[in-house]
Amino acid sequence: MQKFTPPDHIGFEALKLFGENGKIIDGSLAYIQPSGGGPTQAHTHVHDHLFAVLEGEAKILLDKECVVIKKGESFLVDGGIPHSVWNNCQDLTVMIGINVNKCVKSE
């Protein structure tokens, strides 16, 4: 991921975390302690999660896969896949969690 300066901005850098991903339901700022996370049993639901890590590092357990999201990165979790999210470092992890309705692509 690369920072950029939008047109007509001075002393301003942006890091695009995500593009269009469906309709936003709600969003939260999560503070996850070392060894913290959850849920303890992976869960599923009809909406997706868009996670963006601000500090630390998060580990997303997806059924049979593990995805690590580092500071400044984001990842869209398909809510239909069993999943949970955990702190993946020895410091506090801070991340944004946005719940979105699934994006329907027109053909």
**Separation between Cα atoms, residue 24 and residue 50, nearest integer Å:** 10
pLDDT given for residue 15 in this prediction: 76
The CATH number covering residue 77 comes to 2.60.120.10
Strands of the chain, DSSP E: 24-32, 37-43, 48-55, 57-62, 65-70, 74-77, 83-87, 93-100
In a domain? residue 6:
no
What predicted TM-score, i.e. pTM, was given to this entire model? 0.82
How many domains are contained in the chain?
Answer: 1
Q: pLDDT digit of tens for each residue in the chain (107 aa)?
A: 677 888 888 898 887 777 776 788 999 999 999 999 999 999 999 999 999 999 999 999 999 899 999 999 999 999 999 999 999 999 999 999 999 997 665 55
Nearest to 37 by CA among 81, 97, 80: 97
**Which residue range(s) make up the domain with 32?**
24-100
Hey, what are 34's tokens?
Answer: 């070392």
